[in-house]
Structure 1
Amino acid sequence: MEAESATVIISLDKHEMQVADWIAALPLDALRHWHTPRIDISLVTNNRPASLHRLLSSLQKAHYFGDEVPLYLNLEQTADSVTQRLASDFDWPYGSVTVRHRIVLGGLMPSIVESWYPASNDTYGVFLEDDVEVSPMFYGWLKMTILYYRYSMAMRDRSTRLFGVSLYQQKFFELRPEGRQPFDAHVLFESLALDPTLPYLSQIPCSWGAAYFPEVWREFHLYLALRLSEMAVPIADQIVPEIRSNKWPQSWKKYIIELIYLRGYVMLYPNYANYSSLSTNHVEKGTHIKDAVVSKTRAQYEVPLMTRQESLLALPSGRLPSYETLPIIDLWGMVATDDDIIERGWQSAALLDSCPVPFRLDVHPSYNARELLCAKDYERVNRYVDTQPLAGSIKDIQRRREKEAQQILRDREAQANARITAALAQAEAAAQGDMRERPMMVPHPDHGSEHADGPRAAVLRQPGETVEAHREEQEELARAANAAEQRQTPHIIEKYTPRQPPLVEQGDNDDDADVVDVDSSEQEEASPLDLDADSEGEVISDIFESARSRAKVQEIEEDQDSADGSDGVDDAGGVEEEVGGRFIPKDRREPLGWEMEGEAADQE
C-alpha cells in the first residue's frame, strides 16, 4: 500500500479518456490507493467453446484503465479439445494468463470455489462462467466501488460486512420457499420514497458475474471445509430457515448463503435505469440447465449490457452514495436494516449450539469461520473430505448415512458372535477334559493366606438374553466340568508338610527360654492317612487337628541382648509373639501355614 502523501500516476489510453469520468468523482484518499487493489479474473468452462469465445471477446473489449489484470482459465476434466485449444491460444494483453485443467471431475462446487484464492487482503476475485458476457464498463464499475467503499477513510470502517460487488442487476428472487418471484428494485424504492436508481445492498450472492472480497472468501473456504467435514453440524441440517437454497446440496451458493446469513454480510448491486448491467447471463445448456428450460428462462434472466455511451455516474447526485444510506434487501427480498440482519444471524448461530458468538454491532467481524462452527463430535475431528460427498439430494444423503449406520451395527454383531462362538468352544473343551480352567487364587480373610477355588464354568449368554434364562444350562455345564476334572485327577492325597516357623513366647525367666520346632519327627511318625475318607475336606481337617495336638511349644523369654530392646513389646506394654519375622498379639491365634505337594495341590 502506497503512502498517503505519495504522488499517484494513473496512465490511460486515449480511447479510455471518454469513459473515465468516474475517476474524478472519487475522493482523494481513495485515489491515493489507485494501485493498491488487484482484481483477478477467474473463468470456469467445460465444453462450450462458443460460449467461452463470446466471454473472452467481451473481456478483450473492456477498459482496464492502465491496470494489469491476471486472467485464470479453469477447464473442467471433460473440456473438449476445441475449448482446450481456445484457452491455450488466447492472447491477453492486460496481464498474465494461467490455464488450469482438472484431472478429476469436480462439478460446479469445487470448480468455482477452488478456481481462485486471495493472495492478500488487497486481492479481489471476479468469477465468470462461460455463459456470462460482460460489459465494456464492468472493470470501471468494480474499480470505482472498491476504491470508494474499501479505501476511502470515510467508508472503510463502515463497510466491514460488505463481501462483494455484483455486475448483474437482479430481476428475480429465487430463494423464497414458494419459488421464483419477480423483483424490480426501481418500483420498490419508489414505493419507499427513495431514488429508483439508487444502488443497494443485498444478502444474495451473485453467481453471474461478481467480485468477491478476500477476507470473506477466505472465511468461506474454511466454513465450507468445516461444513462438509460435519465436525460441528451434520451436512443435512438446515442453517437458514425457510429458504429454497436448502434444496441445493451440490451448489456452492447454498453454503455461502449460510455464511452470509450467519454473519449478516451484504453485496453491493448496481441499479441503473432499464436494468442496464455490467454482466448478463445467456442461460445456455449446461450442468444445471436443460434444453427444456433454456428458451423459457433466457428472456427472464438476460439483461442489457451497459455501453460506452453510458456513464457509470448515472447515479443519484452523480456519485456513489454513502454506505449507511444504501438500502438493504435480505435473502427473502424484504427491506431490512443492518441491525436486523446481524441480529437474525446471531440468533440462528446461537440455535446451532456450536459456538458462542459475541453480539456486538460495534465490533468488526473476525472473518474466522471457527467462531460459527466449533467441533463438538471429537470422533470426527480433522475428518476433512477428500472429494465432493454430495452426490444426490438431501434424501439420498440421509439414506446413505442410514446404510452406513446399519453396516456398522452388522459389523459389531458379527464381532460379538465370533467372541461368543470362541467362548462356547472353550467351554465345550473344558467339559470334555481337553482344557481345564486355571483355578483363581482369592485372598483368605485370615492374614492374607490364599486358597484355591475350584474350576469355574464360563457364564455364556446370547445377545439380548438374561442370565436367568440359562441358569440351568450353566449349572449343568459347571457340574460336567467338575466331574470331568475329577476323573482326570487320581484320588490320592499326598503328604502335607506343615510349614510352621518357631514359636517364641515370653517366659518368666530368661534362662528358661527354649525353642521347639513344630515340624518334629513326632509328626512324621503319624499314622498313615485313610484313603477311604468320606471327603478330601475331612482328611485335611484331620491333618490340621493332629498337627495342633502334637505340637509342643515351650515358653521362653525374649533375648534381652537383641539389637532393639523394644522388640516383642508394644506401646501398651502387651506381649507379642514373633512368627516368621512378624509380631502377632498374644491373644490372637496364629493360623497354621501349610502347603501341599504333588497332584493333591493341583486338585485342591
Structure 2
Amino acid sequence: MSTPSIVVAAYNRPRALERLLRSLRRAHYPAGGRARLVISVDGADGADAANAEVRALAQDAEWPFGPKDVIRRERRLGLAAHVFACWALAEALGDLVFLEDDFVVSPAFYAYAAQALDVYRADDRVAALALYALWFNGYTHEPFTPLADGSDVFFLQVPFFQGLAFTREQAARFAAWRSEGRERPAPGDPLHPLFFKFPPSDWFPVLARYVVTTGRFVVYPRVALCLGMGDAGTHFARPTAFFQTPLLQAPADFRFRALDDSLAVYDSFFEPLPERLDRMTGALRGVEYAVDLYATKPRDLLRSACVLTARPRRAALRTFGRVLWPMEANVIEAMPGGEIALCRAEDLEWGWWADVRARQGLDRYFARGRGQGWRRRWLYRLAALASRFTAESAR
C-alpha cells in the first residue's frame, strides 16, 4: 500500500500550524514509522515575528510516525509558487498528501489517501485526489449533492484547495503541462467566468484549467477527510466558517468505484455528464444535449443542439418536476412538472431577468419550501415587472 509523504505549506500563521500539527498527531498511521512529514515554510528570511514562530514550531514539532523534514524557503515565494514547489517534491518523495497550514484532518485521512492513491494510480484521467467533501456549488454557493451510487467517492472536473493527494505520476503530468506555459484560464476554456477573475497569486485556477482542458477529473470523498478552518490569509481577508462540514472521525472500509463504473461523474459546472444520466434513464437517450441544471453555463459553452436546464425557455421538448435531490434524480424518475426542461438551445431565454428567474426557482428548491427574505422577494418582483415590460414592448 502507498505510504504518501505529508507535505505542509506554512507561512505566518503559528496558531494555525499548531492546530494542524495537533490534528495530524491524532490521525492513524501504519506501523513502522513510514509516514514522512515535510513542513515547507515560505519567506524564511526577513519575515516578521509570526513567521519566525512558524519556523520554530516546525523545527520543534514532535513527529513519532516517521521522518520529519523542515524546508526553510530562502525567499518569499508567495502562495501559488509555494504550493507548486511543494507539489514538485513528489518527484523525490513519491506519493504525497498536500495540506495548507489552516487545515485540520480526520483521524482516517492517511488511510483514505493511501488506499485511494493505490486505487486510482493507473488511471491517467484522474488528475488528483481531494480530501474535502465538496458539499456546495462553488459558483452559486447552493448545495451540491452527488448522486448516491454505492461508493464513497464521486468525480468532478473542479479541483478544490482543502487537501489534495497526488501520485508521483499525477504530479509529474501536471508539472509537464505547466512547463508548456499554458497556465492561466483563457477564453474558450470550458470554465465558469469566475475563474478569469482570480489574481495571479492564486494556484486554484491553474489546476482547474489543467483538469478541464486535459479532460481529467478529481476524485472526491463523500465525507470529509480534511477541511479548511477559513483563517484570515491570502484567500480570506477575515475568518469564515462557510467551509465547515463533518470530518470522518473513525476508521472505515472505503468503497471505491472506477471512473468508468461511477454514476456520479460531473463536469466543471457541477453538472452530471449526459452519458451517465443516460445509463439511468432512457428519457433522453438518443438526444444530443448539454446539462445546465444550475443555470450557470454561459451561452457560448452550450454547444449541443438541446439543453437539459432550469433556465427559462420559450418552448420545451419535455419537462420534469424538481422535487427529488439531487436535481438529476427528477429526470431519472421522470417526475411530473415543469421546473426542469429539455429544450432546443435556441429556445433558451437570456438576460439578467432570465437569470434572476432561474435563481428564484433554484432558491425555492434548495430552501425546501421555506420562505425567502424580503430583499430577494423584492428583487424577484422587480424582475417579474421587468420581464413583463420587456415582453409588452416586444409586441
Change (3 A) 1:80 1:148: closer
| C-alpha distance after superposition, 1:182-209 (max 9, x if no partner) | 2332xx526xxx45x6521111112111
Change (3 A) 1:116 1:97: farther
| C-alpha distance after superposition, 1:118-144 (max 9, x if no partner) | 555992121111110001100111122
SS at match of 1:93: coil
Matching residue of 1:189: 147
Contact map agreement 2:91 2:172 (CA 8 A) in 1: no
| C-alpha distance after superposition, 1:401-431 (max 9, x if no partner) | xxxxxxxxxxxxxxxxxxxxxxxxxxxxxxx
Matching residue of 1:123: 94
Matched, 1:289 2:262: no
Gaps of 5+ in 2: 278-289, 291-395
Q: 1:132 aligns with which of 103, 113, 135?
A: 103
Contact map agreement 2:185 2:206 (CA 8 A) in 1: no
Cα drift, residue 40 of structure 1: 1.2
After superposition, where does 1:480-519 map in structure 2 within 5 Å? none
Cα drift, residue 280 of structure 1: 1.4
TM-score for both structures, normalised by structure 1 = 0.41
Q: Which has the higher contact order (CA 8 A, sep 6+)?
A: 2
CA distance in 2, matches of 1:64, 1:172: 30
CA distance in 2, matches of 1:85, 1:98: 13
| C-alpha distance after superposition, 1:255-290 (max 9, x if no partner) | 12111112111111111xxxx411111101011211
Q: 1:303 aligns with which of 236, 245, 253?
A: 245
CA distance in 2, matches of 1:171, 1:289: 19
Matching residue's letter, 2:267: D
Q: 2:260 aligns with which of 304, 314, 324?
A: 324
Contact map agreement 2:127 2:218 (CA 8 A) in 1: yes
Change (3 A) 1:120 1:221: closer
Matching residue of 1:207: 161
Matching residue of 2:80: 109
Matching residue of 1:279: 226
SS at match of 1:246: helix
Change (3 A) 1:283 1:338: farther
SS at match of 1:306: coil
| C-alpha distance after superposition, 1:56-76 (max 9, x if no partner) | 011111111226122111112
Matched, 1:46 2:17: no
Q: 1:55 aligns with which of 14, 20, 29?
A: 20
Contact map agreement 1:127 1:207 (CA 8 A) in 2: no
Matching residue of 1:256: 207
Matching residue's letter, 1:303: T
Cα drift, residue 111 of structure 1: 0.8
Contact map agreement 2:117 2:167 (CA 8 A) in 1: no
CA distance in 2, matches of 1:170, 1:206: 8
Cα drift, residue 239 of structure 1: 5.5
Matching residue of 1:27: none
CA distance in 1, matches of 2:185, 2:227: 33
Matching residue of 2:55: 84
CA distance in 1, matches of 2:219, 2:92: 18
| C-alpha distance after superposition, 1:426-476 (max 9, x if no partner) | xxxxxxxxxxxxxxxxxxxxxxxxxxxxxxxxxxxxxxxxxxxxxxxxxxx
SS at match of 1:226: coil
Contact map agreement 1:118 1:218 (CA 8 A) in 2: no
Matching residue's letter, 1:286: G
Cα drift, residue 332 of structure 1: 0.5
CA distance in 1, matches of 2:186, 2:213: 14
Matching residue's letter, 2:228: N
Change (3 A) 1:74 1:338: farther
After superposition, where does 1:338-487 map in structure 2 within 5 Å? none
CA distance in 1, matches of 2:268, 2:185: 20
Contact map agreement 1:201 1:328 (CA 8 A) in 2: yes
Contact map agreement 2:99 2:162 (CA 8 A) in 1: yes
Change (3 A) 1:142 1:242: closer
Gaps of 5+ in 1: 1-33, 151-155, 228-232, 345-604
Contact map agreement 1:121 1:215 (CA 8 A) in 2: no
SS at match of 2:69: strand
CA distance in 2, matches of 1:337, 1:140: 33
SS at match of 1:172: coil
CA distance in 2, matches of 1:99, 1:122: 14
CA distance in 1, matches of 2:174, 2:257: 28
Contact map agreement 1:328 1:337 (CA 8 A) in 2: no
CA distance in 2, matches of 1:122, 1:80: 26
CA distance in 2, matches of 1:264, 1:144: 24
Matched, 1:166 2:113: no
Matching residue of 1:69: 35
TM-score for both structures, normalised by structure 2 = 0.62
Matching residue's letter, 2:252: L
Matching residue of 2:384: none
| C-alpha distance after superposition, 1:507-556 (max 9, x if no partner) | xxxxxxxxxxxxxxxxxxxxxxxxxxxxxxxxxxxxxxxxxxxxxxxxxx
Contact map agreement 1:43 1:129 (CA 8 A) in 2: yes
CA distance in 2, matches of 1:306, 1:237: 37
SS at match of 2:173: helix
Contact map agreement 2:127 2:217 (CA 8 A) in 1: yes
CA distance in 2, matches of 1:268, 1:236: 21
Over the aligned positions, Cα root-mean-square deviation in angstroms equals 2.7
Q: 2:189 aligns with which of 226, 240, 243?
A: 240
CA distance in 2, matches of 1:267, 1:147: 15
Cα drift, residue 47 of structure 1: 1.2
Matching residue of 1:17: none
Matching residue's letter, 2:137: F
CA distance in 2, matches of 1:107, 1:127: 16
Percent of aligned pairs sharing the same letter = 25
SS at match of 1:52: helix
Cα drift, residue 301 of structure 1: 0.6
CA distance in 1, matches of 2:92, 2:272: 30
After superposition, where does 1:265-276 map in structure 2 within 5 Å? 265-271=216-222, 276=223
CA distance in 1, matches of 2:169, 2:275: 19
SS at match of 2:260: helix
Cα drift, residue 42 of structure 1: 0.9
SS at match of 2:40: strand
Change (3 A) 1:140 1:338: farther
Contact map agreement 1:42 1:127 (CA 8 A) in 2: yes
Change (3 A) 1:48 1:320: same
Contact map agreement 2:130 2:218 (CA 8 A) in 1: yes
